[in-house]
Structure 1
Amino acid sequence: MVTSADENTPLIVSGSRNYLSTNEDHEDATRHLLEADTDDDSISALQKDDPTCQLDLVKVPSISTGFAIDPGLERVSSAATVHVSEENIESQDGAPSRSMFANHFINVTPTKFAWIFGGIQIGYFIGFFDATFMASSHPVITSEFHASNSASWLTTAFLLTSTALLPLSGRISDTIGRKPVYIFSIVVFFITTAWCGLAQSIGSFILARAFCGLGAGGVFSMGMIISSDTVRLEYRGIYQSIINMTLGVGGALGYAGGGFLCDHLGWRGAFYIQLPFIFAYLLIAIWTTPDDLGRIDPKDETRSLRQLLKRIDLTGSFLLTVGLTALLVGLNLGGNVFSWSHPLVVFSLVLAAVMAVVIPIYESKVDRPVLPIRLLTKAPHAYIIFSNFFGGLAINSIMFNVPLFFQAVKSESATDSGLHLLWASFGITFTSVANGFLITYFNSLKPFALLGATLMFLGGFTTTALTFVDLPYAITIAFLALASVGQGFVFPTYTVSILAVNKQEDQASSVTTLSLWRNLGYVMGTSVSSLVLQNALRIRLYQVVTEPNKQRIIEIARKSVEDIVTLDPMHRGQVIQAYNTSLRITFLSATIWGSIMLLLTIMVKLPRLRRNEKELEEEETD
């Protein structure tokens, strides 16, 4: 069989009972597998002819493709990921096995995997419920603290810590093993969720959300990594669809259930009710997660824990966190709490500008950067990564502010405002699950990325339309769902795309970088949309609110959404008009980010997939 591949195309392994890897980081894995059987070596290569390179997804050795996996450390053998027995290999070649699913997994039984994967799903469900819970509940929480103009920090603090520390969890778990990092993340998530419910000031609550993001980020990333460690690549799409469904359902119930819980249990009770489920999740994780998963090979005496820790780009992570924090502080305080000329605002923005120069210079010089600059400077990688960034920016500009629109402009309860997003979230669930099957069936990526980007772009316009005219309920839901449906198509497609355009040894770093930039988009979407909203609202309130008590009315409108209904009819109408105009501008900003995403998606060239062994056999006969 003739093999060929260019330098940008990964060699994908095939064969009946052998697995060969071109990745030097997987030498140990290759040696163990070759010792199991060396009868029928064959390597299939990805044929790339612009714009449709072919990617085999048949009988590939499992590689870690979780969104927070170490992009630089050598992959370390573990009992759960490498030492595949002769019996397991035979089972995967079609020999009789105890379960039709046995060949899906790496050195774990179907029953063991069911417990592991079930625990991961609980974590994803609770984590996404908690993350989206803020969208419908933040007006209630900030109104109690009289800090509605600080609402963005409730979400921004959570996303900032989970994003900035995202690349580290995988690297640390490669050093000390998956289980310690996984359990630590769940414990942090449990403690900080309780802290949120106990917070007595807006400052304490924001700090609790920041640490909660640290725990939730570890839960998300380690769940994906452990799934990748235990499921073979050719079957991973099936389980990724299950994960997508869990994320969608958890997110949907967070949007809708958050408001409901706030109305009936109070926002503190909405946090307390999560604690028993998180504790049960902790017990399942302790019981089911293999102790040696991802652990350093004890036989390798050349690499100590200290040596491996030195290879983690802690400095890069620190610089990234400082830069992001400075930028968000400047954007959230400027024109909102302080004037743009305030020393703290100026200092924050200047520091962010300095970090924007320092970070690329530093990251280009380290061996294993937390932010690989090379991926941001070549096609199609740059198109894929920046499309995800602007997509995250667009979708959070809409989803974060829609509940505020219904509560401030339509005077609806937190429950009713969250229900508007429920159907949109189910749209994400349906399309993200269906998308995986559609990609597999049509063996194509570009059409689904283009469809998703187009829907997200149009979703900005349809959401803006709600600020112009009252529409029937069904049409309102359809307009809100458009961007969410697009999100379900485009983000999963791009995750597969970044794998398809990279060598095998670059896949972990590329997926990590993609997820990092997508999360940065989410962070900036919340922060920038809040910047637009608060500045537009401040200006508009001074334009439309009249005496008497003009200043007091403006302060009430900006600091407590719930108190708007207590105003006299004249001032209430003026405040609602100001909110409506400001939110219209905010939703229109989402169309700008969506248009950039759509343009990048039109320009990108994505590979075409090949998925069956018949085509491989035909190649071998040529």
Structure 2
Amino acid sequence: MTARPAFKLVFAGLLLAVLLNALDQTIVATALPTIVGELNGFDQLAWVITAYILASTIGLPIYGKLGDQFGRKPVFVFAVVLFLAGSVLSGLATSMPMLIAFRALQGLGGGGLMIGAQGIIADMVPPRDRGKYMGLLGAAFAVASISGPLLGGVITEFWGWRWIFYINVPLGAIALAFILKHLHLPRQEKRSGSLDYAGMALLSSASVVLVLVTSWGGTHDWTSPLILGLGALLLALVAAFILVERRAVSPLMPGHLFRHRQVLLATMVGILVGVVMFSTISYLPTFFQLVNGATAVGSGLMMIPMTLGNVIGSMGSGSIVSKTGRYKLFLLGGPVLMLGGLALLGTMGANTPYASAAAGMFLVGLGIGVMMQNLVVIVQSQVERSDLGVATSTTNYFRMIGASVGIAVFGSIFISSFSSKLAGADLGFTAGGEGGLGSLTPEFVHSLPAGTQEMIADALAGSMPQIFLISMGLAAGALVLGFLIRETPLSTSRS
């Protein structure tokens, strides 16, 4: 693609698609208290987010492989259509199981949006210039991911929570129109070999079982027959997947990718950063609403410092990498910034000034911003063009599965700690059922006596910051791995 106006319109369509995918990972965050209260499912709170992320994660390696084999444009268009169908159905859901199922369908489409955009950019521009465009994609991802709670709060408060899904339709239609009309990629030779159906089935099953183990492990005894059985099933699925991939003619995840030191290290760093990012975005709005008494809109506005930090980090680092070809500094500085921010968030309490939380969010957002998209650039620069799709999708897959597991684990830790702190307390209502812990909306909490509100706020304030303290260990791990990544020159050629 050489026509500049067409390139700009295609890139606008890609930005919009990435924005929608990222938006729907977090837009439900501020609406969650209202949604789970209306549908009576506080104990399923994490699954509304996890279902989308898990489904989109499962789709990543499949979309990457299909794009390499059949071309990225038709695969990308299919993903957009599936995403929009899931959006409409999610808005029509009348129960928590229905909502979770349709969010999963939406996620299956969403998985192809980010990976498709990254692959299309890699087809159009050389590695040295990708930093600039990946930085813009990263900024769109950051704005949508972190501003999602704000937009979700506004829509929920003024239009109703169902419109957080319906709003995707006109925006997605615009992105689809730009791509259909203006995207003309260089003709690629059709890859031989049948699709790795067995690998797809095994990887999808293993991903689901992994999240089930980590999610239910906090609410069941880790040595219970259920958890032990799921753990054994997970090991069997992983072993079967490895065996199938070794024998597959066209494997979903080629083994040689994992023998590449740079790709492996960048992927491991991406996993740790993904857990920190999505856990922070997912749980802070609930803290602000139920501890600080913020409205849905207010809690979204309170997340702006994280958005600002992420956008500055993503766009700034992308521009610098494109100009200099140097990226190692960002792999080391990012985790240090995250550590500082998480330390501030981990010490939050019911009476902590907002300025402290804002500083913590800004540092975490800045640290994530200077790292996330540069990790993709590193991976893409290390592989042959024939493996571009599977390499990009593989590193994104492990980053997102890490986020899914992280949210599930942290959700289990939070719910377990929160429930134990309220155990035996005279709250004036019983746990479970209507009016119980399953219906803890901000409105319901604010209708309770002042003493009960204070007990709930103290329990939340004493439980949720644990998430950020644990995340500090993940940021430290990212720093150590960043030291091990060797900086190599980025090519200025597309081939």
Tell me if both proteins adopt one fold, taking TM over 0.5 as the criterion.
yes
d(CA) in 1 for partners of 2:225 and 2:435? Answer: 23
Instruction: Name the structure 2 match of 1:455.
Output: 337
Taking a change above 3 Å as real, the CA distance of residues 454 and 130 of structure 1, as seen in their structure-2 partners, is same
Kindly provide the CA deviation profile for residues 43-99 of structure 1, in whole angstroms up to 9, marking residues without a partner as x. Answer: xxxxxxxxxxxxxxxxxxxxxxxxxxxxxxxxxxxxxxxxxxxxxxxxxxxxxxxxx
Partner amino acid for 1:276? P
Aligned 1:271-350 pairs, distance under 5 A: 271-290=165-184, 296=189, 308=193, 310=194, 312-336=195-219, 344-350=226-232
Taking a change above 3 Å as real, the CA distance of residues 612 and 339 of structure 1, as seen in their structure-2 partners, is closer
Of 437, 441, 444, the residue aligned with 2:326 is 444
Taking a change above 3 Å as real, the CA distance of residues 360 and 555 of structure 1, as seen in their structure-2 partners, is farther
Instruction: Name the structure 2 match of 1:556.
Output: 436
Instruction: Name the structure 1 match of 2:358.
Output: 477
Q: Bigger shift: 109-118 or 399-408?
A: 109-118
Cα deviation for residue 553 of structure 1 reads: 10
Whether the 8 Å CA contact 2:129–2:492 is kept in 1: the answer is no
Whether the 8 Å CA contact 2:287–2:464 is kept in 1: the answer is yes
Of 420, 433, 449, the residue aligned with 1:568 is 449
Instruction: Name the structure 2 match of 1:533.
Output: 414
Taking a change above 3 Å as real, the CA distance of residues 364 and 481 of structure 1, as seen in their structure-2 partners, is farther
Whether the 8 Å CA contact 1:136–1:403 is kept in 2: the answer is yes
Cα deviation for residue 608 of structure 1 reads: 4.3
Instruction: Name the structure 1 match of 2:264.
Output: 382
Partner amino acid for 2:149? Y
Whether the 8 Å CA contact 1:188–1:212 is kept in 2: the answer is yes
Taking a change above 3 Å as real, the CA distance of residues 377 and 608 of structure 1, as seen in their structure-2 partners, is closer
Taking a change above 3 Å as real, the CA distance of residues 426 and 334 of structure 1, as seen in their structure-2 partners, is same
Partner amino acid for 1:319? L
Cα deviation for residue 295 of structure 1 reads: 6.0
Query: 2:78 aligned with 1:184, yes or no?
Result: yes
Whether the 8 Å CA contact 1:553–1:571 is kept in 2: the answer is no
Aligned 1:131-280 pairs, distance under 5 A: 131-280=25-174
Q: Bigger shift: 356-365 or 203-212?
A: 356-365
Partner amino acid for 1:119? G
Alignment gaps of 5+ in structure 1: 1-105, 298-302, 614-622
Whether the 8 Å CA contact 1:255–1:422 is kept in 2: the answer is no
Cα deviation for residue 266 of structure 1 reads: 0.9
TM-score by length of 1: 0.73
Taking a change above 3 Å as real, the CA distance of residues 345 and 608 of structure 1, as seen in their structure-2 partners, is closer
Query: 2:392 aligned with 1:511, yes or no?
Result: yes
Kindly provide the CA deviation profile for residues 496-523 of structure 1, in whole angstroms up to 9, marking residues without a partner as x. Answer: 3334555666555433322221112221
Whether the 8 Å CA contact 1:463–1:480 is kept in 2: the answer is yes
Decide which structure has the larger Cα Rg and report it.
1
Whether the 8 Å CA contact 2:429–2:436 is kept in 1: the answer is no
Partner amino acid for 2:205? V
Kindly provide the CA deviation profile for residues 101-150 of structure 1, in whole angstroms up to 9, marking residues without a partner as x. Answer: xxxxx4x4112222222222222222222222122222221121121221
Whether the 8 Å CA contact 1:167–1:516 is kept in 2: the answer is yes
d(CA) in 2 for partners of 1:348 and 1:372? Answer: 26
d(CA) in 2 for partners of 1:168 and 1:386? Answer: 20
Taking a change above 3 Å as real, the CA distance of residues 155 and 548 of structure 1, as seen in their structure-2 partners, is closer
Match of 2:110, SS? helix
d(CA) in 1 for partners of 2:166 and 2:492? Answer: 49
Match of 1:152, SS? helix
Taking a change above 3 Å as real, the CA distance of residues 169 and 382 of structure 1, as seen in their structure-2 partners, is closer
Number of aligned residue pairs: 492
d(CA) in 2 for partners of 1:552 and 1:185? Answer: 38
Query: 2:453 aligned with 1:546, yes or no?
Result: no
Identity of matched residues, %? 23
Partner amino acid for 2:235? A
Query: 2:17 aligned with 1:123, yes or no?
Result: yes
Instruction: Name the structure 2 match of 1:362.
Output: 244
Partner amino acid for 1:474? A
Whether the 8 Å CA contact 1:179–1:293 is kept in 2: the answer is no
Instruction: Name the structure 2 match of 1:300.
Output: none
Taking a change above 3 Å as real, the CA distance of residues 566 and 237 of structure 1, as seen in their structure-2 partners, is same
Aligned 1:33-52 pairs, distance under 5 A: none
d(CA) in 2 for partners of 1:577 and 1:485? Answer: 29
Instruction: Name the structure 2 match of 1:351.
Output: 233
Partner amino acid for 1:213? G
Higher relative contact order (CA 8 A, sep 6+): 2
Whether the 8 Å CA contact 2:410–2:467 is kept in 1: the answer is yes
Kindly provide the CA deviation profile for residues 365-385 of structure 1, in whole angstroms up to 9, marking residues without a partner as x. Answer: 435432344444553443222
Whether the 8 Å CA contact 2:430–2:437 is kept in 1: the answer is no
d(CA) in 1 for partners of 2:469 and 2:413? Answer: 10
d(CA) in 2 for partners of 1:608 and 1:172? Answer: 29
Aligned 1:396-407 pairs, distance under 5 A: 396-407=278-289
Instruction: Name the structure 2 match of 1:423.
Output: 305
Whether the 8 Å CA contact 2:130–2:377 is kept in 1: the answer is no
**What is the RMSD computed on CA atoms of the aligned residues?**
2.8
TM-score by length of 2: 0.90
Taking a change above 3 Å as real, the CA distance of residues 427 and 408 of structure 1, as seen in their structure-2 partners, is same
